[in-house]
Amino acid sequence: MPDGLFTASPDAVVALMCMALATYVCRAGGVWLMAHVPITPRMRRALAALPGSIMVSTVIPIGFKTGPAAVAALVVAVLVMMKWRKDLAALIAGLLTISLLRALGF
């Protein structure tokens, strides 16, 4: 391997390690916190609504910002998810849609 191909500055390594630690602390803290929260029917409904709310608040605005091909791909993915309830099928359908539309110049 040539010298310098996989080198990183010490600052970058420290930043990466800090981000990894922060990610671990957030995940472990969430598990620890939820171990102390009673899972009532109301809490169960709230947790079940999280994936949809995350999609609405993050993915959909990004789709609208990036253009009509992304919006069409999101619509196709949502329709596939509603029809078959398969995450992978929705992902593949959305990716195929945006790939085809981008290849056609949209």
Same domain assignment for residues 95 and 48: yes
As to burial, measured by CB atoms within 10 angstroms (0-12 exposed, 13-18 middle, 19+ buried), residue 53 is exposed
| Same-domain pairing of 80 and 92 | yes
Do 70 and 92 have their domain in common? yes
- Whether 13 and 26 map to the same domain: the answer is yes
The reported pLDDT for the residue numbered 71 is 93
The answer on 105 and 62 residing in a single domain is yes
CA–CA dist 10, 21 (Å, integer): 16
Q: Containing domain of residue 1, as a range?
A: 1-37
Number of domains in the chain: 2
Within this chain, do residues 30 and 70 fall inside the same structural domain, yes or no? no
Q: Over 90: is that where the pLDDT of 1 sits? A: no
Domain identity same for 52 and 72: yes
Identify the band that residue 6 occupies on the pLDDT scale cut at 50, 70 and 90: confident
Q: Which helix (H) or strand (E) holds 52?
A: helix 41-54
Q: Are residues 55 and 28 in the same domain?
A: no
Q: Are residues 52 and 18 in the same domain?
A: no
- Residue 65: exposed, middle, or buried by beta-carbon count in 10 A (0-12, 13-18, 19+)? exposed
Burial-class residue 34 by CB neighbours within 10 Å (0-12, 13-18, 19+). exposed
Residues 57 and 30 in one domain: no
pLDDT digits (tens, 9 = 90+) for 22-81: 999 999 999 999 999 999 999 999 989 888 888 788 888 988 899 999 999 999 999 999
